[in-house]
Amino acid sequence: MISSFIKNVNLIPATIDDYPLIQNMARFYVYDLSRYGGFESDEYDWTLPQDGLYEANDYKKYFIEADRKAYLIKVNNEIAGFVLLNKIGTTDKLDWNMAQFFILARFQNKGIGKQVAQKIWQMHQGIWEVSALPENKPAIIFWRNAINEFTKGNYQEEIKLVPVNDYKAERVIFEFGTQQYIQANNNNSIRFANSDDIDAMVALSYTKRRAYEKVQPQFWRYKEGAEKLQAKWFKELLLLDDYIMLIAESENKIIGFIIGKIIEAPEVYDPKGLTLMVDDFCVKTDNDWFSVELKLLSFPNTIF
């Protein structure tokens, strides 16, 4: 069953022009963290400043240093948060560290954070560390679930002392590698479709329907100009909130897609809720049915 759905979640590489925006959003990030700081803390001063504006660390280095990355999170083209990456962790073998990860309040608890995290891990492969304050129980639960799902349970979790300002403080550290996950999935990946995918989807669909026509000519007959009509229809579906369009890729080439409508589950379903009614489904070759097909059909269960 699908419990929630948000599509059109995008990661946009941030530039120096986005620095003021992310720095201002970081004030809300600090405010969120203050829930877990307590009234007294040797590590941070959570007292609200006299001007009513929480202060965050200066993140300008994430826009100018080569070994750091900054991303804006957008949902339906609306700013929804940011992600900052660096290579500073508790081990020398580290490739990437999730330095800051923030979803604005109105976008929290909708599955967006997990989508974003998994996209980041797919984009930046290697040995990862993710940390959380021991007092921040919701963050620990979130990261534990997201990482466990992504790595199929192949991760380490422990409390470590890390340098903070002039002393060391406890952090819950998650360590894992992304290479195993990517390789285990045969270099095939599933993602949400966008307008740039339409032509490739139409081409796949054309090949499938012409094959159907040869086998069942009484049911399938090609019509000139059908591709343009189908492309128009696909673009319209992308804009509908109750439709999901997923793409299967291998080596940056589209090898399959699935289109489904989110509907209320029939009364005979248990548990109740929402389910996905598949409208269209296509894979490139017959050999893809037992690999790409399974991933396309299973993907909604991994993110919702």
**pLDDT tens-digit readout, 34-53:** 777 654 555 556 676 777 77
Contact of 288 with 256, CB cutoff 8 Å: yes
Rounded distance between C-alpha atoms, residue 166 and residue 209, angstroms = 66
Low-confidence ranges of the chain (pLDDT < 70): 1-7, 37-46, 48, 165-167, 179-187, 269-272, 286-291, 293-294, 299-304
Instruction: Return the DSSP state at 36.
Output: G
* C-alpha distances out from residue 281 to 227, 293, 302, Å: 16, 9, 19
What is the C-alpha separation between 35 and 163, in angstroms, rounded? 22
- Cα–Cα distance between 108 and 4 in angstroms, integer? 12
Residue ranges per structural domain of the chain? 9-184, 188-303
pLDDT of residue 39: 45
- Which homologous superfamily is 188-303 in? Gcn5-related N-acetyltransferase (GNAT) (3.40.630.30)
Cα distance from N-terminal residue to C-terminal residue, the chain: 8
CATH topology identical between 9-184 and 188-303: yes
Q: Among 3.40.630.30, 3.40.50.720, 2.40.50.140, 3.20.20.190, what is the CATH number of 9-184?
A: 3.40.630.30
pTM of the model: 0.60
Q: Pick the closest to residue 124 from 165, 172, 68 (CA basis).
A: 68
Q: What is the largest CA-CA distance in the chain?
A: 78
Q: What tokens appear for 244 in the block? A: 């999901």
198: phi > 0 → left, psi -120 to 50 → alpha, else beta; which? Answer: alpha
What pLDDT is stored for residue 180 in this prediction? 58
Q: What are the tens digits of pLDDT across the range 9-34?
A: 889 999 999 999 999 999 888 888 87
Copy the structure tokens of residue 136: 């921040």
Token representation of residue 118: 């998994």
Please report the pLDDT score of residue 184 as a whole number. Answer: 46
In contact, 5 and 192? CB cutoff 8 Å: no
**Residue 174: what pLDDT?**
96
Helix ranges, the chain (H): 19-33, 112-123, 137-151, 179-184, 198-215, 226-238, 292-303
